[in-house]
């Protein structure tokens, strides 16, 4: 168990678990019992067969989060749990934005896409689908810029993190 309490109340937790039925439910229940809301949750297979990695973004009191981390660390299927600050990890999100894009606005939209180093992945008669990766603040800013063109639909992955250097995530 490791901690990196954020003073802003935002936290990113990495949980390395055995890939077995019910593990996600048990992990989520630890947060729910403490009244802690999960803002985003990404679960994916780990590099090692038979294991999965959960990345959980949440907000709340650091003291309560320390209790949650200790409880998670005691679960049978949890191998490792750690909180990671943005300085000690690479943090990324993926966002897909479907934008209403009439012909006379496409140039301006594509300029915004270029500034954010995003890319257009689909062009329809009256819409564009934009793919962007970056930290939460970058995707929030891109959403604000694209909102004036009418966002038809938006999907975001939630945070993905990996510890810098030799430190394990």
* Residues 94 and 79 occupy one common structural domain: no
**Phi and psi dihedrals of 115, rounded to 5?**
-60, -40
CA distance to 74, 120, 129, per residue, from 98 (Å): 42, 10, 4
Residue 166 lies in a domain: no
* pLDDT of amino acid 8: 56
Residue 17 lies inside a defined structural domain of this protein: yes
Place of tokens 């894009």: 101
- Domain assignment present for residue 79? The answer is yes
* Any domain includes 5: no
Note whether 57 and 118 are same-domain residues. Answer: no
What's the pLDDT score for residue 7? 47
pLDDT tens readout for residues 88-98: 889 899 999 99
Task: Kindly state the average pLDDT of the residues 124-135.
Answer: 94
Domain boundary among 83, 116, 134: 83
Average pLDDT of the segment spanning 140-149 = 95
What strand order describes the sheet that includes 38-45?
Answer: 38-45, 51-59, 10-18, 78-83
User: Does some domain include residue 4?
Assistant: no
Choose the final residue of a domain: 39, 66, 83.
Answer: 83
């Amino acid at each position: 168990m490791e901690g990196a309490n954020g003073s802003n109340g935002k936290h990113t937790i990495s949980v390395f678990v055995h890939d077995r039925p019910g593990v996600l439910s048990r992990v989520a229940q630890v947060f729910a019992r403490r009244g802690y809301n999960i803002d985003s949750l990404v679960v994916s297979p780990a590099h090692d067969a038979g294991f999965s990695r959960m990345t959980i973004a949440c907000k709340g009191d650091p003291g309560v989060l320390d209790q949650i981390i200790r409880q998670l660390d005691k679960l049978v299927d949890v191998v490792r749990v750690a909180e990671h600050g943005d300085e000690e990890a690479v943090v990324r999100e993926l966002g897909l934005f479907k934008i209403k894009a009439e012909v006379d606005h496409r140039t301006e939209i594509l300029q915004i896409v270029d500034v954010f180093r995003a890319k257009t992945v689909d062009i329809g008669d009256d819409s564009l689908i934009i793919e962007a990766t970056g930290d939460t603040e970058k995707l929030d800013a891109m959403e604000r810029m694209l909102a004036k063109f009418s966002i038809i639909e938006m999907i975001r992955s939630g945070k993905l993190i990996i510890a810098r250097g030799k430190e394990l995530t």
